[in-house]
Amino acid sequence: METTNSMSRRHFLAATGAIAGSALLSSLPVDAHALTNQSGNGVNKKKMRVAMIGTGHRGTGMWGKDLVRDYSGYLEFVGLCDINPGRVETAKGMIGATCPTYTDFEKMMRETKPDVLIVTTVDATHDDFIVRGMELGADIITEKPMTTDEKKVQRILDAEKRTGKKCRVTFNYRYSPHRAKMWELLQAGEIGELTSIDFHWYLDTSHGADYFRRWHRLVEKSGSLWLHKASHHFDLLNWWIDSDPESVYALGQLNFYGKNGPYRAENCRNCPHTGECNFYYDLAKNQRLWNLYAENEKYDGYFRDGCVFKNDINIFDKMAATIKYVNGVEVAYSLTAYSPYEGYRISFNGTKGKIDAWIQESKPVNDANYDEIVLFKNFGKRQYFQIPFGEGHGGGDKLLKDQIFLPNVNDPLKQCASTRDGAFACLIGIAARNSIASGNVVKIADLTTLKPGAVKQYERVV
């Protein structure tokens, strides 16, 4: 790696993408392929039989159309299910699948007997499908957050043990090349012993505001942004720190969206304030979303263009937490949901130096096509690492799917996430919510039977 302490001598390092994709992979032994029926030499013996519950945006895109387009040699859809009969039919066309569609989950599982069930429903319903899916004989691939409260976390852990089936949580943020680069620098001991992290995430008034338009606005459906959004960030922390969280103290308020707005309506299409509202969202401009949601709202009243100032919004839009890890690392975390840009600032503080990054996802600095990480050494030089952007969460989505569906892809950066990982990411958010309610520090060990350890346990989910 190149070293410089001068901004003018920065070098372009296409570092982590390449490492994740090739160098480190080839240096390690090959695992039996995860969650599939494929042979070790990449020749297709039998395709993975996949069913999906929840055919909305994520289900039809990342886990639908993209799978049919890129991985048809390795898998086939055998069933699609959604509570909305119109949306599941629309989704089938969007995905390009030829399998039957269902509105009855049990019926789909009994008739199609999938090897793998993909869970992409509303967050608070994940546990029902994960548990029942395993009971009915499938391994599970679930979107984050794994679930939304501590009882549901326990249910999932118990069901996995009881059924012998496996559940993988798709923490795609781990696979973004610049975050993998941070992991590598930490693992390599570049800043000595990691002692604390300052981690501040900003959601913008476009993508961030979207959470306040839909079901995510209700704690009972999303668990709040502590679960829906921050579980991504907590999982990154757990992975980077390589230890389990011990305790959480948190604060949170709703002081921008919801009841704080100057006016409101049910949704933008029926609103008299569209001319003056900065949050006016014209769903008709997006044909795909119109077809998926507006054309099917007659079945369930799900408005994709819901008002961000509705009085029923009961999640926080400003949050902060102090998290202590078993290995002694301390984290100062915050999440703000009404920022001009989307992204984050992070500082990893160690005994021999510091790693910093300011990542702007929605409006990159100077329209740069890379993410930059700076490594500072105490009494020494700086190094700049510039990691090229890729499509879909910085290129992470593709790397995650390759690892799941292609044969012979190893896991050198320990990015594969188990239910234990899914649980600890959720438990930090749940502890934060409980801490705000009680005003007390919440111990993670008090929430479930899962006991946090000084060193994170790794499991390659197969």
Ligand X SMILES: NC(=O)c1ccc[n+]([C@@H]2O[C@H](COP(=O)([O-])OP(=O)(O)OC[C@H]3O[C@@H](n4cnc5c(N)ncnc54)[C@H](O)[C@@H]3O)[C@@H](O)[C@H]2O)c1
Work out whether 94 is an interface residue with ligand X (CB under 6 A).
no
Work out whether 53 is an interface residue with ligand X (CB under 6 A).
yes
How many helices, marked H, and strands, marked E, lie in the chain?
17, 15
For the window 209-238, what string marks contact with ligand X as x by the rule CB under 6 A? -------------------x----------
Of 55, 50, 62, 48, the residue nearest 102 (C-alpha): 55
Q: Which stretch binds ligand X (CB under 6 A): 2-10, 80-88, 93-101, 110-118?
A: 80-88
Work out whether 125 is an interface residue with ligand X (CB under 6 A).
yes
Closest to ligand X by CB, 56 or 353 = 56
Residue owning tokens 């390092």: 13
Which DSSP state fits 229? Answer: T
Residue in 75, 86, 101, 123 binding ligand X, rule: CB under 6 A? 123
Binders of ligand X among residues 102 to 121 (CB under 6 A) are 120-121
The helix-helix angle for 396-405 and 177-187 (nearest 10°) equals 80
Closest to ligand X by CB, 299 or 458 = 299
Work out whether 359 is an interface residue with ligand X (CB under 6 A).
no
Of 189, 202, 240, the residue nearest 375 (C-alpha): 189
| Pairing, β 167-169 against β 245-253 | unpaired
CA-based torsion, 262, 265, 267, 273: positive or negative: negative
Work out whether 148 is an interface residue with ligand X (CB under 6 A).
no
Q: Which stretch binds ligand X (CB under 6 A): 29-37, 122-130, 438-446, 454-462?
A: 122-130
Closest to ligand X by CB, 179 or 228 = 228
Q: Which stretch binds ligand X (CB under 6 A): 81-89, 183-191, 356-364, 380-388?
A: 81-89
Which DSSP state fits 23? Answer: I
Alpha carbon distance 306, 314 (integer Å): 14
Residues 6+ apart with CB under 8 A from 441: 247, 248, 249, 435
For the window 161-200, what string marks contact with ligand X as x by the rule CB under 6 A? -----------x----------------------------
Task: Give the residues lining the site for ligand X (CB under 6 A).
Answer: 53-59, 82-84, 87, 120-123, 125, 143-144, 172, 228
